[in-house]
Amino acid sequence: PALPHFSDFTEMMRALGYPRLISMENFQTPNFMLVSEVLLWLVKRYEPQSDIPGDVETEQDRVFFIKAVAQFMATKAHIKLNTKKLYQADGYAVKELLKVTSVLYGAMNTHGGERADLPEEDSSKFKFDLGSKIADLKAARQLASEITSKGAVLYDLLGKEVELREARTESIARPLEINEAEKVMKVAIKSVLEEVQKTKDMLNNVALDEANLEAKIEKRKLELERSQKRLQTLQSVRPAFMDEYEKIEEQLQKQYSTYLEKFRNLTYMEQLLEDHRRAEQEMFEEAANMLRLVQNRLKEEEQHLLKSGSNDDSDIDIQEDEGSDSEGDLQLMRHHISTEALLQG
């Protein structure tokens, strides 16, 4: 049958005797506490002896509660609930709650004629007492399963009855010979006696093995005690070379500290030497550049003097300029001497 409209949910809950007033505004936003309370009340209404826990504090408890209620309704009332919609606790959860409330409301209406004569206060106390029928239902299910298994075994045995009947008839028709029966009994007795003797031999071997194991255990215990005593003596005795070892260790610490100091000094000196070499290299390069500049300047002056000397044609001018030429020669000589001194340096 089609499910009723959402507005009928509150009326059904009121008719079933729910103690609180419910409106559709309570389900505008997810309200899991109200949904869990309604579900637990419906389960108790359907079966008062149900043992579904009502703890819904954590997420895991809520999931377990929804699964337990859905499984209960599926097994007991054959009502399939959508656990995801119930967990949403909103308008979609009301659709799932209507499945249960409609069944309970319909069952209550079937007894409407009987409840018409009851007072109004008694009608609110109407309960579906199915607890007394649960034990009978479980027993009936167990008996049904046992009957099915026994029937299957019986069917297999009846299928073999054709062959077994012939063998049984042949065995019964054959006359019983005393000598043969006595021979078979003697053989059986002999085999049983052999088994008994083997068992006795095994017991004797077990006893011997146990004695050997106990002797080995005692021997190992004595060895362990001797080893422990020897270990204690070795731990208590101080080695002969321990004093010398400690002295050498102290000297090693001193030598190591000295080594560290010398290593730091050596590293520092190497760094200073590298800086000094770098400075000398820079000075040498600077001196070489200066020398190159001086040489270039001297060459330019010599070329200038040669050009000025070639332009003088008269001997008079030469005689008049002897004094000045001699002075220029002296300056040139001084430049050459200074250049040679720089080169030697």
DSSP string for 41-63: HHHHHH-TT-------SSHHHHH
Mean pLDDT of 303-312: 79
Query: Per-residue confidence at 111, pLDDT binned at 50, 70, 90?
Result: low
| CB of 80 closer than 8 Å to CB of 50 | no
Torsion sign across C-alpha atoms 146, 150, 153, 155? negative
Query: Per-residue confidence at 132, pLDDT binned at 50, 70, 90?
Result: low
pLDDT of residue 165: 86
196 vs 164: CA distance, rounded Å: 34
96 vs 102: CA distance, rounded Å: 10
The residue that leads in pLDDT, 41 or 319, is 41
The residue that leads in pLDDT, 114 or 32, is 32
321 vs 325: CA distance, rounded Å: 6
| Range name among 127-141, 172-186, 331-345 with the lowest pLDDT average | 331-345
How many angstroms separate the first and last alpha carbons of the chain? 123
Q: Which residues have C-beta within 8 Å of that of residue 41, sequence separation ≥ 6?
A: 18
pLDDT at residue 215 above 80?
Answer: yes
**Coil, strand, or helix at residue 226?**
helix
Q: Identify how many contiguous H helices and E strands the chain contains and give both numbers.
A: 13, 0
248 vs 242: CA distance, rounded Å: 10
In tens, the pLDDT along 47-62 reads: 877 778 777 888 888 8
CA of residue 265 relative to chain centroid, distance: 54
pTM of this prediction?
Answer: 0.33
27 vs 37: CA distance, rounded Å: 13
| CB half-sphere exposure, 203, CA atoms < 13 A | 6
Q: What is the mean pLDDT of the chain?
A: 79
pLDDT of residue 291: 94
115 vs 151: CA distance, rounded Å: 46
170 vs 106: CA distance, rounded Å: 68
| Range name among 31-40, 114-123, 216-225 with the lowest pLDDT average | 114-123
Q: How far is CA 135 from CA 43, 131, 140, 142, 330, in A?
A: 18, 8, 9, 11, 144
* Nearest Cα to Cα of residue 13 among 26, 29, 30: 26
Tokens for 101? 């409330």
| CB of 271 closer than 8 Å to CB of 301 | no
Single-letter amino acid code for the residue at 339: T
pLDDT of residue 252: 95
pLDDT of residue 228: 93
- For 151-188, the DSSP string reads HHHHHHHHHTHHHHHHHHHHHHHSPPPHHHHHHHHHHH
> Phi and psi (nearest 5°) for 314?
-85, 150
97 vs 81: CA distance, rounded Å: 8
